[in-house]
Structure 1
Amino acid sequence: MTAMWFLLALIMLAGAGALLYFDRSRRDQSGRVREIWAKAQGYSYSGADPRLPSQFHRAAMAKHEYLGALDVVTGERRGEKFILFDLEDTATIVAVEREVGSDVDIDLRLKTTPPPKDSDLELLGAIGPRVVFATDLEIARRACDQRMVAFTESIPPVVGMLWSEGEWTLGSLPLGSSGRDWDAAIETVARLSGILHVLPPVIEPKGMRDVRHDPGRPGDPEPGEPRRVAPARRAPAERAAALRDGGERRPGLPQRSDRPARPVPPPAGDRPSGPIRERRRPADDGR
């Protein structure tokens, strides 16, 4: 009996090892396919990035920050920077970066998908085959115009969730998708990113400016520069004494004693009222 259990354990161990081998082989093959696809498109490829998923926290990325990113592709498509990666054994994620982020986040998911678990996302309503959630319903309602309706009706079936976080617009698709699916997902997420440009930009909190570069404080030194101390001002009595002694001496300027004396005009009462005529001396007649 003991030998039979031991044999069953060996069989199960061998089966687990075979599954791990096939999974590893499939992963390596998928990585090679994505690397070839990335190089053919002119994109950059990296085997892994453990810190990348921690930048995102909503939708398909919720509570998966501890997972690493595999087979990461970065590039630019029609002027839009994007990142494509596998969230280990969960999903393939496409993220497109906008130039200006927004405090308003939007989530578009299929009606059959469970609602988001984020407490700040509220239900806006259904648009085509999708259900829209947003952190600000009034602003999101203005963004969901006819372009958004046409967009939701043209989303490829391979793209599951679509959402935005700050300056990023993201989408998810199942693992094992092909290069054609990746192209379609990037195009879809980029279109949604263009529509979301109407969202208000991020508002910078007051008081967050760097005072070292505040133009209203020209006296502040740069980092590493000694602070300039203004010379102490003299008391009125000391300034008066300095003026009586010939003035304060300043380097590089002529002193009062070096300046040529100017003739002092006579008082107004001593000036002649008429034009000044030259007096002629009487001629010397030899007397």
Structure 2
Amino acid sequence: MPTWVWFTAAVVFAMAGVALLATDTAQRSARNRERRRWAALRGWQFAESDQVLPTRWSHGFLAAQSGGVARDVVAGSTFTADGRRQVYVFDHESGGKAGAVLVAVRCRQQYEVVVELWLPSVPVPQESGLDLLGPVGSRYAFVTQLSAARQLITPDLVEAAEEVGDDVTVVWLEKEWVLAAAPSNASPSRLERLLRDVGEIADLIDPVDEEEREQQRTHALTVDQEDERIFRPSSQS
């Protein structure tokens, strides 16, 4: 084959590689701007990257990932039915490619049991120490402690897990966090809905006790009374 053919082919492949790189960079920049705007609208913090954050967890989506870095990290807190909870949202990047957007909502206490709820279309996790508990709605539960997991997986939790959506491959409880793995192209509106769903699961696993709930009601009533006093038109004699 003539040399010029090889040269032409090499040029074509190089141009294709540059085009793919440019497209990936453009998409990455667009996601970065979108995530940054979302964080600003919510009054949350934003960071370009964080190498330590993914090391907080080792189960669920992260069990099959070696290393990796968090990109376009959003950190803040959001209200759930049981009060305010700390949250993280970030792209998990491994080998220069984002595999998923991870959403994490914090509970008030740490749990010894790990509970993973996987879609049936996903290969069975190969983590050591996990046992198959069985179907939980349309998902399959893999856990570290069968008896403790059975106490947590109530009918209400099964219903809440069903609401997460079949674009989320896994939802899992690890330490004091409930996490979910969404597609890497998930939009802020999709992530907002997922945060609400994961927050509901956190409320079911980690409910507020009656004393704390009463304190929240009292605080809310006090705030309402203060607002009424401040905004009530003054009477004129």
TM over 0.5: yes
Q: TM-score, normalised by structure 2?
A: 0.79
In the superposition, the TM-score normalised over structure 1's length comes to 0.66
CA-atom RMSD, angstroms? Answer: 1.4
Return 185-194 or 21-30, whichever deviates more.
Answer: 185-194
Corresponding residue for residue 147 of structure 2: 138
Amino acid at match of 1:22: T
- Which residue pairs with 1:182 in the alignment? 191
Question: How far apart are residue 154 of structure 1 and its match?
Answer: 2.1
CA contact (8 A) 1:156 1:184 kept: no
Give how far 1:177 is off: 1.2
Tell me, what secondary structure is at the counterpart of 2:91?
Answer: strand
Which residue is 1:195 aligned to? 204
1:123 aligned to which of 127, 132, 135: 132
Paired AA for residue 158 in structure 2: V
| Mapped pair 1:166 → 2:175 | yes
**Higher Rg of the two aligned structures:** 1
Residue 220 of structure 2 corresponds to which residue in structure 1? none
| Preserved CA contact (<8 Å) 2:118 2:170 | yes
SS in 2 for 1:98: strand
Correspondence for 2:29: 28
Match of 2:86 in 1: 81
Q: What corresponds to 2:18 in structure 1? A: 17
Q: Contact conserved, 2:119 with 2:166, CA < 8 A, in 1?
A: no
Instruction: Give me the whole-angstrom Cα distance separating, in 1, the residues matched to 2:113 and 2:121.
Output: 24
| SS, match of residue 16 in structure 1 | helix
Say whether the 8 Å CA contact 2:164–2:198 is kept in structure 1: no
Q: SS of the residue aligned with 1:162?
A: strand
Query: Which structure is richer in relative contact order (CA contacts within 8 A, separation 6 or more)?
Result: 2
The structural deviation recorded for 1:65 is 4.3
SS at 2:110 equivalent? coil
CA apart distance, 1:7? 1.4
Distance in structure 2 (CA, Å) of the matches to 1:2 and 1:135: 61
- 1:42 partner letter: G
1:69 maps to 70
Contact 2:161 2:201 in 1 (8 A): no
Stretch deviating more after TM superposition (18-27 or 48-57): 48-57
2:109 equivalent in structure 1: 100
Structure 1 spans left out of the alignment, 5+ residues: 199-287
Which amino acid letter does the alignment assign opposite residue 82 of structure 1?
A: V
Is the CA contact (8 Å cut-off) linking 1:53 and 1:65 kept in structure 2?
A: no
Shift of 1:162: 0.2
State the 4+ residue runs in structure 1 displaced beyond 4 angstroms. Answer: none
Q: Which secondary structure does the structure 1 equivalent of 2:184 belong to?
A: coil
1:158, distance to aligned residue in structure 2 (A): 3.2
Query: Which secondary structure does the structure 2 equivalent of 1:166 belong to?
Result: strand
Q: Secondary structure at the match of 1:148?
A: helix
Determine the C-alpha separation between the residues in 2 that align with 1:193 and 1:10. 54
1:221 matched to which residue of 2? none
Secondary structure of the residue that 2:191 maps to in structure 1?
Answer: helix
C-alpha offsets along residues 17-46 of structure 1, whole Å, 9 cap, x if unaligned? 111011001100110011111111111111
- Partner AA of 1:66 in structure 2: G
Q: Alignment identity in percent?
A: 29
CA distance in 2, matches of 1:143, 1:164: 10
Partners of 1:57 and 1:65 within 8 A in 2 = no
Instruction: Choose between structure 1 and 2: higher helix proportion.
Output: 2
Between the aligned partners of 2:162 and 2:174, the Cα distance in structure 1 is 22
Q: Report the Cα distance in structure 2 between the residues aligned to 1:5 and 1:94, rounded to whole angstroms.
A: 48
CA contact (8 A) 2:172 2:180 kept: yes
Measured after TM superposition, the shift of residue 99 of structure 1 is 2.1
Q: Is 1:4 aligned to residue 5 of structure 2?
A: yes
Is 1:90–2:99 an aligned residue pair? yes
Q: As a proportion of its length, which structure holds more strand?
A: 2
* Ranges in structure 2 where 5+ consecutive residues have no aligned partner: 208-237
